[in-house]
């Protein structure tokens, strides 16, 4: 690809990124409206015939990695469990 072709591709990508952000915002807006309506009706499941919508509470147990790291660091064992990972990153600025 020549620089001119890359510029065109980047411009197209930037436009697609902008469209994606707009679409994501619309999705969040629609989901919020449905969630608000289900909360107002005090229901967790809504069967519409062609689909079933669930807005349910859940509990998840998560490891507090920051606390674990600090604890392991204080015991001088953290370095034994650290592994360097190499990757490539693509960005347009």
Q: Are 81 and 72 in contact (CB under 8 A)?
A: yes
Is 87 part of a structural domain of the chain?
no
Q: Is the pLDDT of residue 80 over 90?
A: no
Residue 70 falls within a domain, yes or no? yes
Asked if residue 37 is part of any domain, the answer here is yes
- Low-confidence winner among 1-10, 35-44, 45-54, 75-84 (lowest mean pLDDT): 75-84
Q: Which residues pair with 54 in a beta bridge?
A: 45
Residue 76 pLDDT exceeds 90: no
93 occurs within a structural domain: no
Provide the residue range defining the domain that includes 55.
Answer: 3-81
Half-sphere exposure of 22 (CA within 13 A, CB side): 6
pLDDT, average across residues 78-91: 88
In a domain, 86, yes or no: no
Structurally, the chain folds into a number of domains equal to 1
Asked whether residue 71 is assigned to any structural domain, the reply reads yes
Torsion region of 72: left, alpha or beta (phi above 0 gives left; psi -120 to 50 gives alpha) = alpha
Residue 35 forms part of a structural domain: yes
């Amino acid at each position: 690809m020549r620089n001119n072709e890359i510029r065109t591709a980047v411009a197209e990508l930037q436009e697609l990124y902008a469209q994606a952000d707009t679409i994501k915002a619309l999705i969040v807006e629609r989901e919020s409206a449905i969630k608000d309506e289900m909360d107002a009706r005090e229901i967790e499941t809504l069967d519409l015939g062609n689909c079933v919508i669930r807005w349910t509470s859940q509990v998840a147990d998560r490891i507090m990695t920051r606390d674990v790291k600090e604890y392991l660091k204080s015991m001088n064992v953290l370095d034994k469990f650290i592994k360097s990972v190499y990757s490539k990153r693509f960005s347009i600025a």
